[in-house]
Amino acid sequence: MSLNVGIVGLPNVGKSTIFQALTSAPAEAANYPFCTIEPNVGIVQVPDERIDKITEFVKPQKVIKAVMEFVDIAGLVKGASKGEGLGNQFLGHIRQVSAIAHVVRCFEDSDVIHVEGKVDPTADIEVINIELAFADLETVDKRLNNLGKVLKSHDKKLKQQAAIAKPVLEKLKVALEDGKPARSVEMDDEERESISDLHLITLKDTVYVCNVDEDSMTEDSDNDHVKAVKALAEKEGSKVIKICGKMESEIAQLETEEEKKEFLADMGLEQSGLDQLIKTGYEMLGLQTYFTAGVQEVRAWTFKKGMKAPQCAGIIHTDFERGFIKAEVYHCTDLFELGTEAKLKEAGKFRIEGKEYLMKDGDVVHFRFNV
């Protein structure tokens, strides 16, 4: 399963408009439910000021930024867990994503139909969360029903796995029946691993994306709808960001980075809502970035937090991991401060690391290998 973020929400909350702006790829946005049926997949660049700064020092011929994947998933309606609307397809698609960006409508506009007839983002969130909990409950019940046979099996390994999974599944069943997400249940690594193949939807990290009008975009201008979503998210321990889908569509049409910065400055904003969404998605997936830097190319490479140097080398090419000898490393912030590799070496900031080195976000590295 690739690491990606699924964009979900009720029909007509602005999912496809936001997806289009993210990827500049038309997603057949229309003013009626279910205009997104097959999920649209988009690869987007991860905004990172550090790579821009590195290029000022290294001056390469080519720059390649990190990317991540977003998936626009069909609008969900009440009753989806029982197959209403496009429920079964929706639930199948959402199980395959790694994290969720849940878009909720937080603007008033009589010209845009609301599937429930009125704008009430907390009620919208509840509709989706209950449907997702019901879907997970069905999955947990099925596995619990099958465990009886497995526990009578002569296969010792299967019996052992089932014995670990049973109490976890029972705890999950209680939480889901109470409308609580699976992520609210405490589990250790072994317990989490025992149910990982279930791909429980409510176990995934979630960020609520408030689609607002332009007047509500600045930090101190939350409307009542946004305040209500933030209060709900705080209880859940989820993140909240604000996006103005209409404004992001306009930004997506601008040709240069300078025009984009000027537009945001005029709106009193430091970064766009989409940039916040991409960065939040990257963090939710547990992703970090290291850099390779030379005159031919400066490149950002994405790795999972906790990976060691040889594994990170393998992201470039499997030979790098197989024949790993050492990593020559410095941190980009030290480069920004000192300016050259020679000064980094003088200051003792240029290090040689071995196979056990845990890569850090922002490392600039040259791998030595032999195959």
Q: Indicate whether 105 and 14 sit together in one domain.
A: yes
Q: What pLDDT does residue 277 have? A: 92
Q: What pLDDT does residue 126 have? A: 87
Q: Indicate whether 240 and 315 sit together in one domain.
A: no
Q: Which domain holds residue 143?
A: 4-284
Q: Quick one: 312 exposed, middle or buried, by C-beta within 10 A (0-12, 13-18, 19+)?
A: buried
Q: What pLDDT does residue 341 have? A: 87
pLDDT along the chain (371 residues), means of 10: 80 84 57 47 88 93 91 68 56 86 87 69 88 90 87 78 89 90 87 90 92 84 91 87 89 84 87 90 94 95 96 95 96 95 93 96 96 81
Q: Indicate whether 344 and 206 sit together in one domain.
A: no
Q: Indicate whether 81 and 227 sit together in one domain.
A: yes
* Residue with tokens 């995934």, as numbered in its chain: 204
Q: Indicate whether 268 and 310 sit together in one domain.
A: no
Q: What pLDDT does residue 76 have? A: 64
CA 291 from centre of chain? 21
In a domain, 30, yes or no: yes
From the CB of residue 232, how many other CB atoms can be counted at a distance below 10 Å?
Answer: 18
Q: Indicate whether 155 and 212 sit together in one domain.
A: yes
Domain count, the chain: 2
Contacts of 35 (CB under 8 A, 6+ apart): 11, 16, 28, 29
Q: Is the pTM of this model over 0.85?
A: no
Tokens standing for 349?
Answer: 């900031």
In a domain, 292, yes or no: no
Q: Indicate whether 226 and 332 sit together in one domain.
A: no
In a domain, 295, yes or no: no
Q: What pLDDT does residue 89 have? A: 65
Q: Indicate whether 128 and 242 sit together in one domain.
A: yes
Tokens standing for 142?
Answer: 């099925």
Q: What pLDDT does residue 11 have? A: 80
Spatial contact of 86 and 37, defined as CB atoms under 8 Å apart: yes
In a domain, 293, yes or no: no
Q: What pLDDT does residue 148 have? A: 78
CATH (domain of 193): 3.40.50.300
Q: What pLDDT does residue 113 have? A: 59
Q: Indicate whether 278 and 328 sit together in one domain.
A: no
Instruction: Output b/e per residue, 321-343; b: 16+ Cβ within 10 A.
Output: beebebbebbbbebbeebeebee
> CA 76, 78, 81 angle in degrees (round to 5)?
80
Q: What pLDDT does residue 30 have? A: 39
